[in-house]
Amino acid sequence: MSLFLDALLDSPLDDSIRGVPPGAAPLRLRDVGARGWRPAAGDMALPVLTLDEDAFAANRDLIFAYARRHGVALAPHAKTPMAPQIASALVEAGAWGATVANLQQAAVLLRAGVTRLILANEIGGRASGERLGALLAAHPDADLRAFADSPAAVETLAAAARAAGRRLPVLVEVGAGRAGARDRAAVDAILAAVVRHPGLLVLDGVATYEGAVATADPAETAANIAALMDRTAETFALVRALAPERPLLLTAGGSAFFDMVVAGLAPVAATDGNATLVLRSGAIFFHDHGVYERALGALDARQGFACGSTTAADFRPALRLWAEVLTRPEPELAICGFGMRDASFDQGLPRPLRVHRDGAALSAEGLRVTRLNDQHAFVAVPAGHDLAVGDIVEFGISHPCTCIDRWRVLFGLGADGRVRSAYRTFFG
């Protein structure tokens, strides 16, 4: 364990953190399990976001098994939880490395001892390049690969390498819909720019992101991703011609269409014989009750999760948001104590799962979140439902990436529903 992680576990938790009961004596992060808090029993200040640790572990084992079966590696995207404890644990469990989206995320993971990183984004101009170089100089053990989708991006990375005093591996990004080189001419310009800096930069492979070309039409999405995979493979051949001996990377893969990435690029890596396909999936470890529930349902419908007898339906939503009923101002309306400051809403509203009252778990059937204010959730209540002020409602969320980033601490729950760990997040 790095000194940073060890110190993190010794950092104090007090009632400035959501979830910690007001007036509770401060405690160390590593000691939180000793309190035996149960959010369902009202032991914690609500609202609070929790992680079902057994579900998370089961999801980890499923996606790791899938990767082994298909001969690919995983660099989970750290932007989903931005919790160095989680990123470090995934590497210890067998992940190839981790993915970050910007320099702040890279700095946090490097301090935590996660040294093999994919910087899956362009970072800007020369000043940003010099900041990256300073970061790499401060971490001589860092093994970081960075994206470039233009000659300007290449010059940024050359500035980083110059400031770091060492060569920097470059992944040529091919793309559509977001970043990435759009055609052969753009790819050729990137390659020529890298070759102009032989003492600073080295070609290390090709990257893309398939989610940027997805649409509401499954057939169109499949065609778009297949075309993107073909362009990625063609670019890989160009990189291989310029780096005939170097082990190279192919990298893509979010949490919705990774099967199409494997179908399109795993044969390319296998045929090459000196390349590794790295998936960057992040939200898959958390799953959800919304956008990824639908995405994995579609994955099963196309029989994309080929991993023995398991299916994508075996992934389990691991995040829960707990909130209290504050008022029943109308017969068919309840106001619960959470809102846009606490939960994601960009890919769907939270879903009531269970109602907890006096130690009993009751049905939430018919309850529906209709809208959110900053710190109020409007819940439609069917006629006859006895939802009462003080009841604790357990919600599932949609889109982990934009939910966890609202929380400085994510509390891990054991099978008994009690808090047994706490994860600090670092979203800047």
Q: What is the DSSP string of 366-386?
A: T-EEEEE-SS-EEEE--TT--
Q: Check residue 428 and give its pLDDT.
A: 86
How do residues 77-90 score in pLDDT, each as one tens digit? 999 999 999 999 99
Using CA atoms, how far apart are residues 48 and 39, in angstroms rounded to an integer?
8
Using CA atoms, how far apart are residues 135 and 163, in angstroms rounded to an integer?
9
**pLDDT category, 135, cuts 50, 70, 90?**
very high
Using CA atoms, how far apart are residues 213 and 220, in angstroms rounded to an integer?
9
**Residue ranges covered by each domain of the chain:** 3-52+316-424, 55-312
Q: What number does CATH give the domain 55-312?
A: 3.20.20.10
Using CA atoms, how far apart are residues 179 and 70, in angstroms rounded to an integer?
27
- Using CB atoms within 10 A of its CB, is residue 151 exposed (0-12), middle (13-18) or buried (19+)? middle
- Using CB atoms within 10 A of its CB, is residue 199 exposed (0-12), middle (13-18) or buried (19+)? exposed
User: Does residue 1 carry a pLDDT above 90?
Assistant: no
Cα 243 from chain centroid? 31
How, if at all, do strands 319-330 and 48-52 pair?
antiparallel
User: Does residue 309 carry a pLDDT above 90?
Assistant: no
- CA 314-101-132 angle, to 5 degrees, is 150
Q: Check residue 35 and give its pLDDT.
A: 95
Q: Which CATH number fits domain 3-52+316-424: 2.40.37.20, 3.30.230.10, 3.20.190.10, 1.10.3210.10?
A: 2.40.37.20
How do residues 388-416 score in pLDDT, each as one tens digit? 999 999 999 999 999 999 999 999 999 99
Average pLDDT score over residue span 145-149: 98
Cα 282 from chain centroid? 3
The pLDDT mean for the chain works out to 97
The DSSP secondary-structure symbol of 348 reads: B
One fold for both 3-52+316-424 and 55-312?
no
